[in-house]
Structure 1
């Protein structure tokens, strides 16, 4: 059995799965059940706000400085993925870091547009409802890409990243970062 190390702390893991559940509830309830839809949206926005704060003060692998990279590093990593020579990362790889930022920003955008739609100033504003729907559909696309990336990385690196997001642990024997 390979040695493992804790990579993702409990707050990161709880936030991840709470966000998964709240987005799922918000998506399923949609326009049909307003109260649970709004509650799920506010929960998701709160989780994202907490995760952003934790990205500055949390443990090393929770911090944005550990996994957020610039466009050149992200593109180089994606080229390496296409060539089948990507490096394994103990925390998030550069593409994963970019995906986290995209997911967090999109959920915040959804929370903001959803809240705005409940205010007197923007009640019934069609452009806002359309923006909210565009963000929701964009989030579904990002989620599909995220899950695909997790499955690809799990296969290529020999780690079960879904299981790791429950346990917080990854094997260390081949990690180079």
Structure 2
């Protein structure tokens, strides 16, 4: 047994095997956003009504997540995981040296990824909306910027998944499972 399982706390009770980290809203937001983005990306020029509906839904989800980042529970709040560039670089150095500390919520790189994805998706949604207006209807540059944001999102998603896999390996825990159940081991 590991040290955590052998530890007895006051009153003779063992510590919990897992603790709640990700609330239901964060988990539903995460998986809904992933599915809707894939749907929007796949339908692009092919099925415009579905593409636009997915885009508006993503925009709504992003607005809710931004509000939740200020009023939600501890690990959903931006103040819990947004770190300075210096802290992110120091963490990335530790990742490269396979000595990165474990975080119960988002680690500094994960926090940076959350912010980056929100910003890029807002750009994607904004330019997508612009293409439906009279002012920008048929403007090739808006379409190109929209596609660039969408492709940048794909790149960020790939880096995100690789980061999740690396952190899961390094800390011997499934972050995918944690984003499904909302629970992680306490230490």
Scaled to the shorter chain, the TM-score interval is over 0.9
**Is 1:86 aligned to 2:100, yes or no?**
yes
TM-score normalised per structure 2? 0.91
Structure 2 Cα separation of the partners of residues 106 and 80 of structure 1 = 26
Structure 2 Cα separation of the partners of residues 52 and 154 of structure 1 = 26
1:6 aligned residue (10, 13, 20): 20
1:149 aligned residue (145, 158, 163): 163
Query: How many residue pairs are counted as aligned between the two chains?
Result: 173
Query: Secondary structure, in 3 states, of the residue corresponding to 1:3?
Result: coil
Tell me by how many angstroms 1:45 deviates: 1.0
CA RMSD of the aligned region, Å?
0.9
* 1:9-28 map, 5 Å: 9-28=23-42
Which has more radius of gyration? Answer: 2
Structure 1 Cα separation of the partners of residues 63 and 161 of structure 2 = 22
* 1:3-152 map, 5 Å: 3-152=17-166
For residues 9-66 of structure 1, the C-alpha deviation after alignment (integer angstroms, 9 at most, x for no partner) is 0000000011011101001101111000000011111111100100000000000000
For residues 105-162 of structure 1, the C-alpha deviation after alignment (integer angstroms, 9 at most, x for no partner) is 1111111000000000000001100000100110000000000000100111111000
Return 5+ residue gaps in structure 1 as ranges: none
Query: Secondary structure, in 3 states, of the residue corresponding to 1:164?
Result: helix
